[in-house]
Amino acid sequence: MLEGKVVVVTGAGRGIGREIALLLAREGARVVVNDIGVTLAGASEAENPADGVVAEIRAAGGEAAASRDSVATWDGAQAIVATALDAFGRIDGVVNNAAILRDTIFHRLEPSDWDAVIQVDLNGAFYVSRAAIPHFRAQEGGAFVHMISASGLAGNFGQAAYAAAKAGLAALSKSIAIDAARYGVRSNCVAPSAWTRMTSSIPETGANLARIEQRRQVTPDKNAPLVVFLCGDAASGVTGQVFATRKNEIFLMGQSRPLRGIHRSEGWTPQTVAEHAIPALRPSFYPLDRNQDIFSWDPV
């Protein structure tokens, strides 16, 4: 489905990104496998996993190039896109998959951890997308797929920074879709589900044990088919959408729209808001639920 396309996948050395890169190559794309090669704590590793993914693609007869630049800087993002241009002469798609976690309950969240997550998960996606968009605009075509999270859609305990970054990325994707539609550029989001190196860092507490065991049954490759489809021409006309995947399930997620309205011709006072507006609106309030309440069944 992607013969002749060139696609950049960030954070593609392991997990979901790796599976996306491998499937892109199997579908004919030439792939830039981007990964900076660090531990979960941010320490450099002796071997960059991007090299292994590139070798695997080439061994199967595909074409790939490794990028070890960081998405978290403007210059790094420019270098990632330059890798595609230097190696393959063009760029047709970007999968913004690179992300980090710094999970902790909000009152213990350190500013440095907040900044680190926002810089990689949100600013990094902006930098790489911004580096690619001039080329998409010039060729009047291109596809962005942003890997977000149900944490940013429904919410999870102890993930304020991650949820904020991923919710922001969903809004960024919609803005890109609106601004770039005139140039034939598409932008969509996928909230994946899988047990990976990153999710393995979730503390195995009593409250989390059942969720963790459920997650271990969901392998990263289950997320790749939808992402690869969204990168290709078969997805023409699919833009500005938010999808979610869970094992063999694909969901189209809702976007914010008015639920219920109320009008008072003479205007409002704090007293009438309390007496009239809130009682009328309260039946439509969202409960304080989390992702596991929204997806309350095991992945199938």
* pLDDT tops 60 at residue 202: no
Which residues have a catalytic role annotated?
Answer: 162
Return the CA Rg of the chain: 20
**Reduced 3-state DSSP string for the chain:** CCCCCEEEECCCCCHHHHHHHHHHHHCCCEEEEECCCECCCCCECCCCHHHHHHHHHHHCCCCEEEECCCCCCHHHHHHHHHHHHHHHCCCCEEEECCCCCCCECHHHCCHHHHHHHHHHHHHHHHHHHHHHHHHHHHHCCEEEEEECCHHHCCCCCCEHHHHHHHHHHHHHHHHHHHHHHHHCEEEEEEECCCCCCCHHHCCCCCCCHHHHHHHCCCCHHHHHHHHHHHHCHHHCCCCCCEEEEECCEEEECCCCCCCCCCCCCCCCCHHHHHHHHHHHHHHHCCCCCCHHHHCCCCCC
**Domains by residue range for the chain, with CATH:** 6-255 (3.40.50.720)
The pLDDT of residue 173 is 98
47: confidence class by pLDDT, cuts 50, 70, 90: confident
φ and ψ at residue 13, rounded to 5 degrees? -75, -25
Write the pLDDT tens digit of every residue in 96-128: 999 999 999 999 999 999 999 999 999 999 999
Query: CA 34 from chain center: how many Å?
Result: 15
Closest CA relative to residue 149, chosen from 140, 160, 136: 160
Please, how many CA atoms are within 13 Å of residue 246, restricted to the half-sphere of its CB?
16
First and final C-alpha spacing in the chain: 26
In sequence order, which residues have a C-beta less than 8 Å from that of residue 130 and are 6 or more positions away? 77
Question: 93 is written with which tokens?
Answer: 């798609």
8 Å CB contact between 53 and 25: no
* pLDDT tops 90 at residue 214: no
Write the pLDDT tens digit of every residue in 222-252: 999 999 999 999 999 999 999 999 999 999 9
Question: 32 is written with which tokens?
Answer: 């830039």
The pLDDT of residue 113 is 97
Count Cβ atoms within 10 A of the Cβ of residue 1 and give its class: 0-12 exposed, 13-18 middle, 19 or more buried: middle
Write the pLDDT tens digit of every residue in 126-168: 999 999 999 999 999 999 999 999 999 999 999 999 999 999 9
The pLDDT of residue 207 is 59
The neighbouring-strand residues paired with 94 are 8, 144
Residue 141 CB neighbour total at 10 angstroms: 16
Query: CA 96 from chain center: how many Å?
Result: 6
Global confidence as pTM: 0.90
